Amino acid sequence: MADSVVMGSGSLNSGSRSGSSKTSTSPTENYQLARRRTLQVVVSSLLTECGFENAEKAAMETLTEMMQSCESFPYLMQVTCFNVDTLPVYAKRSQRMVITAPPITNAPLVPKALIAGQKRTHPTYIPSHFPEFPDPHTYIKTPTFREPVSDYQVVREKAASQRRDVERALTRFMAKTGETQSLFKDDISAFPLIAAKPSAIPYLSALLPSELELQTLEETDSSEQDDQTDTENNSSNVSQDDQSADKENVVLPPGGVVPTGKANEENMIDNPYLRPVKKPKVRRKK
């Protein structure tokens, strides 16, 4: 979705090298024109991507019209019958064309301010029409305090005792505020244990990784994690479909069973548990 927004609204110029810079008309008209122009650029870039080298004007106009009309989006969907879920993947396709930013018609006058230090240039993945980095002094850290201890041993020592303190404080707090059990009869406050509480579904907390663990995992290995989530997304798409199919079937009257299965024909799996539930046969008698 994000990408389509970029295509639709964010790109306000581009290959319209015609360079028409008539800016005399009213602002709304101007906007309409700009919008139409941009749409044209989008259409032409899509066509180029699809392999067209040239197109008739009339065809171009029609396609642009289609895009412009406010119902066009759902309409398009109906025509091409595509799955919304595939949109993000489509948006990320490698061969997509990047539409450059429109030229700023009348660049506002920026007062030349004092420049302190060397401005950082944009990294390659940020389009050049994005604002520049601010002056370095605004974000570069200034060592105004004592140098932190970087001695490994001390760091570890600190981390360990800090964690221990936090854990102890936390558990003591929990123990103080809730029910406890004690190992000693004479002094119940010594070594308080948070009382054991049975849960209705004990296996959930015992089997599912805790949030902390998931977080650690994310931090440690982002590349692998990416892989994992990718595959997970892909497969969960499938099963979510199934589930939604299931749920829809449950809710919807049997007549209105939406052919969700058809949507992803390419990875359609014929598994009896994914098939839609049948309507009961109408009995002749009675």
Partner 1 sequence: MNRKKDKGFESPRPYKLTHQVVCINNINFQRKSVIGYVELTIFPTVMNLNRIKLNSKQCRIYRVRVNDLEAPFIYNDPTLEVCHHESKQRNLNYFSSAYTAAVSAVDPDAGNGELSIKVPSELWKQGDEMKVMKVYIEFSLDQPKGGLHFVVPDVEGSMAERAAHVFSFGNQNSTRFWFPCVDSYSELCTWKLEFTVDASMVAVSCGDLVETVYTHDMRKKTFHYMLPIPTAAPNISLAVGPFEILVDPYMHEVTHFCLPQLLPLLKHTMSYLHEIFEFYEEILTCRYPYSCFKTVFVDEAYVQVSSYASMSIFSTNLLHSGMIIDQTPVTRHCLAQALAQQFFGCFISRMSWSDEWVLKGISGYIYGLYLKKTFGVNEYRHWIKEELDKIVEYELKIGGVLLHPTFSGGKEKDNPTPHLHFSIRHPHTLSWEYYKMFQCKAHLVMRLIENRISMEFMLQVFNKLLSLASTASSQKYQSHMWSQMLVSTSGFLKSISNVSGKDIGPLIKQWVDQSGVVKFFGSFAFNRKRNVLELEIRQDYTSSGTQKYVGPIKVTVQELDGSFNHTLQIEENSLKHDIPCHSKSRRNKKKKIPLMNGEEVDMDLSAMDADSPLLWIRIDPDMSILRKVEFEQADFMWQYQLRFERDVVAQEEAISALEIFPTPASRLALTDILEQDQCFYKVRMQACFCLAKIANSMMSTWTGPPAMKSLFTRMFCCKSCPNIVKTNNFINFQSYFLQKTMPVAMALLRDVQNLCPKEVLNFILDLIKYNDNRKNKFSDNYYRAELIDALTNSLTPAISINNEVRTVDNLNTDVRLILEEITRFLNMEKLLPSYRNTITVSCLRAIRMLQKNGHIPSDPSLFKSYAQYGHFVDVRIAALEAVIDYTRVDRSSSELQWLLDLVHNDPVHYIRHEILSMLAKNPPFTKAADSLLCNEALVDQLWKLMNSGTCHDWRLRCDAVNLYYTLFGLTRPSCLPLPELGLVLNLKEKKAVLNPTIKSEQGPGGPEVTTTMTFTSTLEEEHVVMEPALIGVAMAPLGLKRKAETPLSSSPEPGQVMQEEPSAKASVKSKFPTQEEEDIDMDTVHDSQAFIYHQLNMLERPSTPGKEPSSVEQAMLSMPGTPMPTLSKESTSSKHGDHHHHHHHHEHKKKKKKHKHKHKHKHKHESKDKDKDRDSHAFSNSPASGRSIRSPSLSD
The answer to the question of residue 105 lying near partner 1 (CB under 8 A) is: no
Beta bridge partners of residue 193, listed in sequence order: 181
How many amino acids of this chain bind partner 1 (CB under 8 A)?
72
Q: How many CB atoms lie within 10 A of CB 11?
A: 19
The answer to the question of residue 272 lying near partner 1 (CB under 8 A) is: yes
Question: Angle at Cα 191 formed by Cα 190 and Cα 196, nearest 5°?
Answer: 125
The answer to the question of residue 84 lying near partner 1 (CB under 8 A) is: no
- What residues from 205 to 224 belong to the interface with partner 1 (CB under 8 A)? 205-210, 212-213, 216-217, 219-221, 224
Question: Smallest distance from the beta carbon of 98 to partner 1, in angstroms?
Answer: 34
The answer to the question of residue 200 lying near partner 1 (CB under 8 A) is: yes
Contacting partner 1 (CB under 8 A), which of 95, 153, 177, 223?
153
Structural tokens at position 195: 């009382």
Residues 6+ apart with CB under 8 A from 171: 194
Contacting partner 1 (CB under 8 A), which of 29, 167, 227, 230?
167
CB under 8 A: which stretch of 8-16, 57-65, 141-149, 165-173 binds partner 1?
A: 165-173
The answer to the question of residue 190 lying near partner 1 (CB under 8 A) is: yes
C-alpha to C-alpha distance for 15 and 72, rounded to whole angstroms: 24
CB under 8 A: which stretch of 11-19, 102-110, 139-147, 167-175 binds partner 1?
A: 167-175
Distances (CA, A) of 199 to 81, 196, 207, 212: 47, 10, 14, 21
Beta bridge partners of residue 194, listed in sequence order: 180
